[in-house]
Structure 1
Amino acid sequence: MESSVLLIEDDVVLAENTRELLELSGYRTLTSHDGKSGLKKAFQEKPDLIISDIMMPELDGYEVYKALQQSQVTCNIPFIFLSAKADPGDIRKGMNLGADDYLTKPFNEEDLILAIERRLEKRCQLLQQERKEVQPGKKGQALEELKEHFKSCGEQLNAEKHEDIYLEGRLAGNIFLLESGLVKTSRLDELGKELITGILQKGEFFGFYSFQPHSCYPETATTLEKSVLFRASHDEFVQMLEQNLELTLEYAELISQHLDVLKTHLLEMAYGSVLKKTASTLLEFAKKTGLGNSQLIKVSRSDMASVAGISTESFIRSLSSLRADGIIDILGRDIKILDLQKLQNIH
């Protein structure tokens, strides 16, 4: 099987000439004309070797290399700088970063091919050694790598409190990773009443409902506080799942865990007392926001009541009862948990 080489070069003529040279030498060659698209292609294609210019728009070669080193998916791909910057300081900077080689323009064609052959041969030896020492991967590693991909290649969104991320019934064109903040998902019943279906916290993915390319969002996603998100297209996300069995299995397990939590929540809503539903909802929001004793929950009463599956009035009465027992305190619109253990023991 022929080796693949990713060439990141903003000089279109040079890129085309170099591509022809590499293909004539038996390499499957991918090209990008700026650092950002080159970085994205590196994550998507996972080439056997990367050649990159340094002075480029969007991201320069140094930034591309640093981003690749931060992901376990790409950190071991051989990397060669190709640049007109021939100053010894520039060469030293590139090599100090950890690059495998540094060639200056104009380069000798034989030198380039020889550098590629040596790096690929060395990588082949390392891979063979790794196979001998292979050990099972850490659980959840593929999902962590997916998160890094979203942060490196996805589009960043800064959302204000109560801002809609997507709406029920709209085309489901993107998948989201919540980097910070809090997001609720909800549906409207036939009477127009909002039913909250989930609360999402930092590090969670949302927006994926179907492998079909033209599905619609079955619910609305709205921020509960200022949030930072990253998004990738639905098609790109599906492609990553199809190409990575380990990732697919980990994501399926994640969905399974969410279903178990949802079943427990539904049973509690069906059979739990109003006070128990209120306590469980407070505990859920405390967990989602990383809170413990002596911390404030800054979420509206109506949102929490919707999660609990009770009316806002009943929720407020339960809060008053918990306050009277010294389990919580109410400071304006915020709720302060005073005794986490007692709150957990409510039946």
Structure 2
Amino acid sequence: MIYTILLIEDNLEMAENISAILKLAGYSVIYAQNGRTGVELAQQNHPDLILCDIMMPEMDGFTVLHILSKMEDTSGIPFIFLTAKAEKSDFRAGMNLGADDYISKPFDGVDLLKVIELRLRKKAFRPSAPIQDEPVFNQHAKGLLEFKKLYENKARRIFRKKDLIYMEGQNPNHLFYILKGQVKTYKVNHFGKELIIDIHEEGSFLGYLPLLEDKPYNENAEALVDVEISFIPKPDFLSMMFTNKEVANIFIKMLSNNLEEMENRLLDIAYQSVRQRVAGTLLKIGKQHTGNTENRAISIARRDISSIVGTTTESLNRTLADFKDEKLIEINPDGLKILNLPQLERIVNL
């Protein structure tokens, strides 16, 4: 499939360079030299993705995005800003308007193509709209009822803290559903360093992608606390996936959400400071771990938190000490407690 990209750029030399890179990569390119023409071409051609400069005559990039996001036919098109201005205020303004990504000039051609590929892949994973032969509410209700059948009345097992639920390289025979507790999924590199992929709480499914791909697990799953797991046999899961569209749609949405979350995490590691990443991780873990970040302490080990953040434990400890001095968190024998939720959110959004 050949994807069509609309390029809106007032600098002719820059536009020619970008167009050449895109065409060499196999994309079809439509070019607009200003924002007004770009809006018209987007409405006429419905491209698969839009690359748009911010500072342009007649109509700037923010206005282009605002107009297209309000139109039903163009609101779902991935939109990436291209700009020579790298101020954080411009970045936030664009993302708040609904931009999917933001690249500062000058940029490497490979980086541009990687961002485009990620955004097109994300778009391709979006589940299609539900079939309109019955009310959406009824479809959703039916899906939830069928969904519950997966894990109800199945074999259950208690895993103690630090017990492995499955290991990388094992062949999957079950889908796992967390009835109580929390589980971390992680990988270990050649040097023995652990990278946490995600923390899964009560109500989450584990191990469905290897079952669908019929491949061994590519990660490890370990109990963070004592957990209760429901075991769903592989034939039961696959039968439900291939015969029940409501259940299939739910898992497709899970896959799409996981992909989006990993993309955002990669962007955070690339562009955010350690301070911002620690604040964001505390907010995320707090909501998962306590349900309400202002009620109970986060008891996850520092080593695990640093693995999620993507930094050393020493750097994490220094940042937590700073947060404690600023009275954003409290550190006690039970763990970490968030004291100033709005200020942590402001740090993330700086």
Normalising by structure 1, report the TM-score: 0.58
For residue 198 of structure 1, give the secondary structure of its aligned residue in structure 2.
strand
* Whole-angstrom CA distance in 2 between matches of 1:325 and 1:226: 33
Worse-superposed segment, 137-146 or 155-164? 137-146
Distance 1:134 1:225, change over 3 A: same
What is the CA-CA distance between 1:211 and the residue it aligns to? 4.8
> 1:293 matched to which residue of 2?
294
Q: How many residues align?
A: 215
* Whole-angstrom CA distance in 1 between matches of 2:166 and 2:275: 33
> 2:241 matched to which residue of 1?
241
Matched AA of 2:250: E
Q: How does 1:74-223 map to 2 (within 5 A)?
A: 134-138=134-138, 140-141=140-141, 144-211=144-211, 214-223=214-223
Report if aligned partners of 1:280, 1:344 keep a CA contact under 8 Å in 2.
yes
What is the CA-CA distance between 1:134 and the residue it aligns to? 4.9
> 2:232 matched to which residue of 1?
232
* Whole-angstrom CA distance in 2 between matches of 1:308 and 1:139: 38
Report if aligned partners of 2:281, 2:305 keep a CA contact under 8 Å in 1.
yes
What is the CA-CA distance between 1:255 and the residue it aligns to? 1.3
Report if aligned partners of 2:241, 2:247 keep a CA contact under 8 Å in 1.
yes
> 2:18 matched to which residue of 1?
none
Q: Deviations over 1:170-197 (max 9, x none)?
A: 1111111111211100011121211111
What is the CA-CA distance between 1:157 and the residue it aligns to? 1.4
Mind listing any 5+ residue stretches in structure 1 that lack a counterpart?
A: 1-132
Distance 1:323 1:213, change over 3 A: closer
Distance 1:150 1:249, change over 3 A: closer
Distance 1:267 1:182, change over 3 A: same
Report if aligned partners of 1:140, 1:250 keep a CA contact under 8 Å in 2.
no
Report if aligned partners of 1:327, 1:338 keep a CA contact under 8 Å in 2.
yes
What is the CA-CA distance between 1:143 and the residue it aligns to? 5.2
* Whole-angstrom CA distance in 2 between matches of 1:277 and 1:213: 32
Distance 1:193 1:226, change over 3 A: same
> 2:317 matched to which residue of 1?
316
For residue 302 of structure 1, give the secondary structure of its aligned residue in structure 2.
helix
> 2:265 matched to which residue of 1?
265
What is the CA-CA distance between 1:333 and the residue it aligns to? 5.4
Matched AA of 1:313: E
Matched AA of 1:279: A
Worse-superposed segment, 197-206 or 286-295? 286-295
* Whole-angstrom CA distance in 1 between matches of 2:212 and 2:254: 20
Q: Deviations over 1:80-102 (max 9, x none)?
A: xxxxxxxxxxxxxxxxxxxxxxx
What is the CA-CA distance between 1:146 and the residue it aligns to? 4.4
Matched AA of 1:335: L
* Whole-angstrom CA distance in 1 between matches of 2:168 and 2:160: 19
Report if aligned partners of 2:178, 2:201 keep a CA contact under 8 Å in 1.
yes
Normalising by structure 2, report the TM-score: 0.58
* Whole-angstrom CA distance in 2 between matches of 1:283 and 1:322: 13
What is the CA-CA distance between 1:307 and the residue it aligns to? 0.4
> 2:330 matched to which residue of 1?
329
Report if aligned partners of 1:143, 1:251 keep a CA contact under 8 Å in 2.
no
Matched AA of 1:304: I
What stretches of structure 1 move > 6 A for 4+ residues in a row? none
For residue 165 of structure 1, give the secondary structure of its aligned residue in structure 2.
strand
* Whole-angstrom CA distance in 2 between matches of 1:185 and 1:146: 26
For residue 316 of structure 2, give the secondary structure of its aligned residue in structure 1.
helix
* Whole-angstrom CA distance in 2 between matches of 1:317 and 1:304: 13
* Whole-angstrom CA distance in 2 between matches of 1:272 and 1:215: 34
Matched AA of 1:343: L
* Whole-angstrom CA distance in 2 between matches of 1:249 and 1:263: 21
* Whole-angstrom CA distance in 1 between matches of 2:202 and 2:334: 23
State, as a whole percentage, how many aligned pairs show the same letter: 27
* Whole-angstrom CA distance in 2 between matches of 1:240 and 1:343: 42
> 2:281 matched to which residue of 1?
281
Distance 1:211 1:318, change over 3 A: same
What is the CA-CA distance between 1:288 and the residue it aligns to? 1.0
* Whole-angstrom CA distance in 2 between matches of 1:144 and 1:170: 30
* Whole-angstrom CA distance in 2 between matches of 1:322 and 1:245: 47
Report if aligned partners of 1:300, 1:333 keep a CA contact under 8 Å in 2.
no
Report if aligned partners of 1:150, 1:230 keep a CA contact under 8 Å in 2.
no
For residue 254 of structure 1, give the secondary structure of its aligned residue in structure 2.
helix
* Whole-angstrom CA distance in 2 between matches of 1:309 and 1:167: 22
* Whole-angstrom CA distance in 1 between matches of 2:162 and 2:301: 11
* Whole-angstrom CA distance in 2 between matches of 1:146 and 1:302: 39
What is the CA-CA distance between 1:161 and the residue it aligns to? 1.1
Q: Deviations over 1:54-111 (max 9, x none)?
A: xxxxxxxxxxxxxxxxxxxxxxxxxxxxxxxxxxxxxxxxxxxxxxxxxxxxxxxxxx
Distance 1:140 1:221, change over 3 A: farther
